[in-house]
Amino acid sequence: MKICIYGSGAIGGYLGVRLHQAGAEVSLVARGAHLAAMRENGVTLLMGEEKTVVHPRCTDNPAELGPQDYVIIALKAHSVPGVVPAMQPLLGDDTAVVTAVNGIPYWYFHGTGGEFDGRTLETVDPGAVQWNGLGPQRAIGCVVYPATEVVEPGVIQHVYGDKFSLGEPDGSKSDRVVALSKAMEAGGLRAPVLDRIRDEIWLKLWGNLCFNPISALTHGTLEVICGDAETRAVAKAMMLEAKEIGDRLGVHFRVDVERRINGAAAVGAHKTSMLQDLERGRPMEIDPLLSVVQEMGRMVGVPTPTIDVVLALVKQRGETAGCYSRPQATAVPASAREVAAAQ
């Protein structure tokens, strides 16, 4: 089994070590000092008192690798469209693309049937670059739950979690998704195959879309945001707006709002990824976590007044810090079918 992990930072490197241990032929695409360290010393994974070092193939040039069975995208979601051209040598006729990214993926409306079937989302896939360049038929959904960190180039610290939920857009238990699940489980990961992967995507997004931007604006931890009555109310209002959108799209939320907020509070004094990015001067994942929810709300006719206000504020916060740039508007047809017809 040939697996390329495109974006081999904290999560991608962790996955790479585990899949390499399971016997897969793993290649890691990375860059800079991290890539140099992995080439020279291997990839080091620290888990508690345990230290593991493996030596998969590491490169910054995907053209060296050739077609893969699986390409696992483990980049920040907003950076994916820009590397679609570089991914092309990895894509054979039967290559699956596993979207281990936060937020709503580019393939979300693939095979859904009904009014929005084939619809592309400008906020996460400007100009339908991923839809046309990777193809929705290749996609396998993946919801990432572990927390990991690159503590120095080539060295990854595992913080908690081992679950990567997988699912085909059509809900089937295909041979390719089952085989990937077995390979991940052989590496010591939990990789359940779900028949409603969109529900799982929304469950994680439900917290990210509110806690991330609120934390970036207030610098509060999850414990503080959920424990303060006023910021908790803002988070709840955003979540209720998002739930109405999800309900219109047929999403099933298996927990209620209060339980989801209490679950976040139980994590304690944790800084969200968006706050960490802001503090470190790195690009913030605003569009795949929040702008896309606003876009989907407009699609289904659900007002999002609280989301609109928080989104406007966090965009400006990101811009003033040099951590966010508004996407250039592009005139794209509403659906992939119309894109194809126009070509």
CA nearest to 206, candidates 251, 271, 148, 267: 251
Amino acid at 317: R
Strand 50-54 versus strand 57-59 pairing type: unpaired
- Report how far residue 315's alpha carbon sits from residue 323's, in angstroms, rounded to the nearest whole number: 9
Phi and psi at residue 330, to the nearest 5°: -130, 145
DSSP assignment, residue 113? -
* SS3 (DSSP) at 131: helix
* 130 token code pair: 């991923």
Q: Is position 204 annotated as part of the catalytic site?
A: yes
* 180 token code pair: 């990937």
For the chain, counts of helices (H) and of strands (E): 13, 11
Order of all β-strands in the sheet with 164-167: 57-59, 25-29, 2-6, 68-73, 91-99, 139-144, 164-167
* Catalytic option among 2, 204, 236, 271: 204
Residues annotated catalytic, as ranges = 204
